[in-house]
Amino acid sequence: MKNSIWTRWTTLVPLAGLVVLAPTWGRDVGVVVEVLIAVLLAACVLASVQHAEVVAHRVGEPFGSLVLAVAVTVIEVGLIVTLMVSGGSDTESLARDTVFAAAMITCNGIVGVALLLGALRFGTTHFNAEGTGAALATVATLATTCLVLPSFTTSASGPVFSPSQLTFAAIASLVLYLTFVFTQTVRHRDFFLPVSPEGEILPEDEHATPPSDRTALTSLALLLVALIAVVGLAKVESHPIESMVAKAGLPHAVVGVAIALLVLLPETLAAARAAARDRIQTSLNLAYGSAMASIGLTIPVIAVATIWIDTPLVLGLGDTQIVLLALTMVVSVLTVVPGRATRLQGSLHLVVLAVYIFLAMQP
C-alpha cells in the first residue's frame, strides 16, 4: 500500500522545522542545538526541492523553473530583510553582497555544474540559444542597473542610489522581470523548452506520470511551509554564521556568500537532476531565472523595506566585483551563442566561481 503523503519525510521535515522554530526564534542556543538546526535546515531545503519538482512536473516547462526560482527568491528576500532589521552597520551592504553572490553562483556555479554534468554524460549539451540569450541579456541589464551604476552615480555620496534613483531602479527591475516572465511563459514559450541536437523541441519527460491537481496543490502548500521553515531556521543560524566569519577573520561579505549558497541549494540540485536527464535547457532556465528573480524581485522589496529600515542601502559593487561580473557576462555570452556546450564551458564557469569565492575571502 502506498504511504500517505502525511507520513512521508518531505511532509514531516517542514512541519518539524516549524515546531523547532517556535522555541528557538530570537534566542541564543547552544552548539549542539545549532548543529541540529543546521541538519534540519538542510533537510527542509531538500524537502522544498522535492515539492517544487512535483509542482514543476504538473505545470510543465518553463513554468516549473519559474515556480522554483520565485520560491528560492522568497527565501533570499526573507533572510535579507530579517537580517537587516536586526543588524547594524555591518548589514548595510548585505543586500548587495547576497544579490551579487546569487548572480555569480547562478551564472557560474549552477550553469557550470549543469554543463559539466551534461557534457560528461552525453558528450555535447544542446539548448535553445534564443531563449537562453534573452535570459542572459536580462540578467546583464538588471545587474548593471542595480549593482554597477550605484558606484558611478553622483547624486548621493558613496556607492548608493539617491531615493529617486532607487525608486526608478526598483520599478525598472520589476517591469523588466515581469516582461521577461510574460515572454517566457506566454509569447515565446517555445524558446525556453528543451531541444534536441537538431534543434527540435523535445517532449515532456515520459518516465513519470504527471501528478494530479490535488497532489500538486498539496505539494505547493507544503513548499510554502518548507520555505517558511527555511527562512526562520536560517535566521536562527545567521548569528552563528556571522560569528564564525568574524572569528575566521574573513570579510563580512562572506556572510552574503553563505546566504546565497544556502538559498540556491534547491536550484543547484534541481538543475543537476535536469542535466542528468539531458534537459540542459531546464537547468539554464533555473539558473538565469534565479539570477533574474534574485535581482529583479529582491531590489524592489529591499527598496520598499528601506522606508522603515534606517540602515543605508549600499548597492554599488567594488572594482574587483565589477571585473568579475564583466568576465562572467563575456564567458556566458560565448557559452550561449552557439547553442551547445562541452565540458570546457562548464569548467570555465566553475573556475570563475572559484575565483569569486576565493577573492571574497581574500580580497
Domains, in order of start, for the chain: 5-361 (1.20.1420.30)
> At 224, is the secondary structure helix, strand, or coil?
helix
Residue 139 CB partners (closer than 8 Å, separation 6+) = 103, 107, 288, 291, 292, 295
305-321 residues labelled b (16+ CB within 10 A) or e (exposed): bbeebebebbbbbeeeb
pLDDT greater at residue 203 or residue 114: 114
Question: Which tens digit of pLDDT belongs to each residue from 342-354?
Answer: 999 999 999 999 9
Report the C-alpha gap between 335 and 255 in whole angstroms. Answer: 30
Amino acid letter, residue 214? R
The pLDDT-based confidence of 1 (bands split at 50, 70, 90) is: very low
Report how far residue 328's alpha carbon sits from residue 15's, in angstroms, rounded to the nearest whole number.
39
Mean pLDDT of the chain: 84
The overall pTM is greater than 0.85: no
CA dihedral 174, 178, 184, 185 (to 10 degrees): 150
Q: What pLDDT, in 10s, does the model give residues 205-253?
A: 544 567 777 888 888 888 888 878 877 887 777 777 777 877 877 887 7
**Cell numbers given for 317:** 559593487
d(CA 231, CA 37): 12
